[in-house]
Structure 1
Amino acid sequence: MSSAIFPGSFDPVSNGHMDIIRRSAKNFDRLVVGVFNNIRKKSFLPVEVRVEALKEAVKDMENVEVVSFDGLLADYMVKHDIPVIIRGLRSVTDFEYEQGQAQVIRQIHPGLDTFFLLTKPELSCVSSSVIREIYGFGGDISTLVPESVLIAIEHFNKK
């Protein structure tokens, strides 16, 4: 059985993330979407809210599970027998960052590999930080996030 993990803070999950999830789910028997709390960023939504919104967004994909985790990604992967990391790339800058991360993980755990997927061009400008900024200024984010995520954001932030 082929397994992969698509890790991220998903704060919030975007339609770009969903594109990577859908495409990855078609290529692996099991896809784990791993939500982590990025300690370098102030959280927009609590991890639990992100996990529940993502579970709702992927409920039509039988081979996708959503989990939250702490600690090193590579350690989680080894513990749960997941040999492949999925990374979505929007730009050259994303590639440079993710390449370094992939090389470090491979150095620590040679059995783990990283697959890069290019974001669809029409979604390459969409990021969680852009979504947070648009929402913060009262803009419409309904075309940028799945419906379950929009509901979670509106419920949690009660504007």
Structure 2
Amino acid sequence: MKKIAIYPGTFDPVTNGHLDIIKRSVELFDKVVIAIAKSSSKSPMFPLQDRKKMMELATSAILNAECVCFDNLLADFAKENNAKLIIRGLRVVSDFEYELQMGYANASLNEELDTIYFMPTLKNAFISSSIVRSILEHNGKVSHLIPDVVYKYILKIKAETKGDKCISH
């Protein structure tokens, strides 16, 4: 029986911290489903299909990772994908408090579901999508915080939409 894990998130955009957790997760599981949440309540900076495309570009060399979008309860999504494990990242204490509550809530909805937590490597510990978005909004340098292919994709989006904001190198 295959060990399938789900790494859910908004990934708005995918960061080097996300990629760090994905690379370590695929070493432990037969398949890692990267579940990109619609999360319209969060008002993402990037549309769902762009977030999926960025993740596909960032993980193209990782054979046992699959990128999918979802818009239902994570506990139900896990059942639909025959997954019994959720992967989450923890950077700071406040992440732990929130993730612990979410893990318990998911387990209450699907008793077979468990959550495993990864700490990012030290060089990625401070990176979050919200920090990247904030830097992008102020035309700051983000190329060291996100995968190179994602950075190039964001530049392409900005050029195509003739965004009034530039992204610094």
TM-score tier (shorter): over 0.9
Give the equivalent residue in structure 2 for 1:13. 14
Give the equivalent residue in structure 2 for 1:95. 96
Give the equivalent residue in structure 1 for 2:138. 137
Paired amino acid for 2:43: K
Q: Which has the larger radius of gyration?
A: 2
Q: Report deviation, 1:124.
A: 1.4
Q: Report deviation, 1:42.
A: 1.5
Alignment of 1:104-143 (within 5 A): 104-143=105-144
Q: Report deviation, 1:123.
A: 1.1
Root-mean-square deviation (CA, aligned residues, Å) is 1.0
The two structures have a TM-score, normalised by structure 2, of 0.91
Conservation of the 8 A alpha-carbon contact between 2:17 and 2:127? yes
Conservation of the 8 A alpha-carbon contact between 1:45 and 1:153? no
* Aligned counterparts of 1:157 and 1:79: Cα–Cα separation in 2: 36
The two structures have a TM-score, normalised by structure 1, of 0.96
**Structure 2 unmatched ranges of 5 or more:** 160-165
Give the equivalent residue in structure 2 for 1:148. 149
Deviations along 1:10-40, one digit per CA (max 9) or x if unpaired, are 0000000000000001100000000012233
* Aligned counterparts of 2:28 and 2:77: Cα–Cα separation in 1: 21
Conservation of the 8 A alpha-carbon contact between 2:13 and 2:54? no
Give the equivalent residue in structure 1 for 2:45. 44
Deviations along 1:65-110, one digit per CA (max 9) or x if unpaired, are 1010111111011011011000000011000000000001111111
Q: Report deviation, 1:62.
A: 0.6
SS in 1 for 2:86: strand
Number of residue pairs aligned between Structure 1 and Structure 2: 159
**Structure 1 unmatched ranges of 5 or more:** none
